[in-house]
């Protein structure tokens, strides 16, 4: 089983790429964002720590964490955001490492894909066999973010400034999938690459 990390800037089309891969290959796709929600559920590792940090007023009547209230507190104070990240990110990484170990032990899949916003910064390069960069031209990413999320140019500028540069992505990633054109072109690149790997199994 080959473990592949998927990364790229906002609006690059990672979700569409992963949906295609999931449908056409014998694989599992792990989304770090979804894992983050899982580890914040009652009974999970981060739950008590987050309540201790943010207060019980972030809870819904059923005891689950209300994401909107949590986000409100996090983004009001940069130090709180850093503390929350210090709780959640290690737990997410630990969960993913366990998932990788379990799937390797079962030995039923050809591929396991991990998508995380901080794949490079979070040191996931040590967990995966290789990193893939989903590249899309900045002007196209801007168009997509305006169309799909109704983001303003100002908001897009703020997001882009916080993300890694194209040079850093290319430096760390073994494979670059160009998703600037039609999705079918990106799918063809994926099929060629994964087809090569399947021939080696």
Left if phi > 0, otherwise alpha if psi is -120 to 50, otherwise beta: which for 4? beta
Range 124-152 average pLDDT = 92
User: Mean of the pLDDT values across residues 179-200?
Assistant: 95
Report pLDDT digits (tens) over 20-62: 999 999 999 999 999 999 999 999 989 999 999 999 999 999 9
Q: Is the pLDDT of residue 201 over 80?
A: no
71: in domain: no
> If residue 176 lies in a helix (H) or strand (E), which one and from where to where?
strand 175-178
Edge-to-edge, what's the strand order for the sheet holding 130-135?
27-31, 111-115, 2-7, 130-135, 175-178
Residue 87 lies in a domain: no
pLDDT of residue 87: 95
Structural contact between residues 104 and 1, judged by C-beta atoms closer than 8 angstroms: yes
Candidates 148, 143, 134, 144; CA nearest to 179 is 134
Does the residue 55 lie in any domain? Answer: no
pLDDT of residue 109: 97
- Contact, 110 vs 201, CB < 8 A? yes
Confidence of residue 183 (pLDDT cuts 50, 70, 90): very high
Side-chain-facing half-sphere of 37: CA atoms under 13 Å: 7
Residue 86 located in a structural domain: no
Q: Is residue 66 part of a domain?
A: no
State whether residue 99 is helix, strand or coil: helix
- The predicted structure's pLDDT at residue 58: 92
Read off the pLDDT band of 118 (50, 70, 90). confident
Confidence of residue 176 (pLDDT cuts 50, 70, 90): very high
Query: What CATH code is carried by the domain that includes residue 138?
Result: 3.40.50.300
Q: Is the pLDDT of residue 115 over 90?
A: yes
Reported confidence tier of residue 200, pLDDT bands at 50, 70, 90: confident
* 93 within a domain of the structure (yes/no): no
Distance of CA 15 to the CA centre of its chain: 9
The reported pLDDT for the residue numbered 196 is 93
Report the predicted TM-score, pTM, of the whole model to 2 decimal places: 0.90
- With vertex at residue 135, the alpha carbon angle to CA 129 and CA 140, rounded to the nearest 5 degrees, is 160
Number of compact structural domains in the chain:
1
Cα angle: 19, vertex 17, 31; to 5 degrees: 65
Range of the domain at 181: 2-26+109-200
- Give me the pLDDT at residue 75, please: 85
* 76, pLDDT greater than 90: no
Q: What is the pLDDT, as a whole number, of residue 97?
A: 95
Q: Evaluate whether residue 195 is within a structural domain.
A: yes
Residue 94 forms part of a structural domain: no
């Amino acid at each position: 089983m080959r473990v592949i990390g998927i990364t790229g800037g906002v609006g690059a089309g990672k979700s569409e790429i992963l949906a295609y891969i999931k449908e056409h290959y014998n694989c599992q796709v792990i989304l770090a964002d979804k894992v983050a929600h899982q580890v914040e559920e009652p009974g999970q590792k981060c739950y008590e720590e987050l309540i201790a940090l943010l207060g019980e007023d972030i809870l819904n009547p059923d005891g689950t964490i209300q994401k909107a209230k949590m986000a409100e507190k996090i983004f009001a104070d940069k130090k709180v955001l850093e503390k929350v990240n210090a709780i959640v990110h290690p737990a997410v990484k630990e969960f993913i490492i366990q998932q990788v170990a379990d799937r390797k032990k079962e030995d039923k899949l050809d591929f396991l894909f991990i998508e995380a916003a901080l794949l490079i910064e979070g040191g996931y390069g040590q967990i995966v066999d290789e990193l893939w960069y989903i590249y899309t031209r900045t002007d196209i990413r801007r168009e997509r973010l305006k169309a799909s999320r109704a983001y303003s140019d100002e908001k897009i500028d703020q997001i882009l400034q916080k993300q890694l540069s194209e040079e850093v992505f290319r430096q760390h990633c073994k494979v670059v999938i160009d998703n600037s054109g039609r999705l079918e072109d990106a799918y063809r690149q994926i099929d060629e690459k994964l087809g090569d790997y399947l021939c080696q199994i």
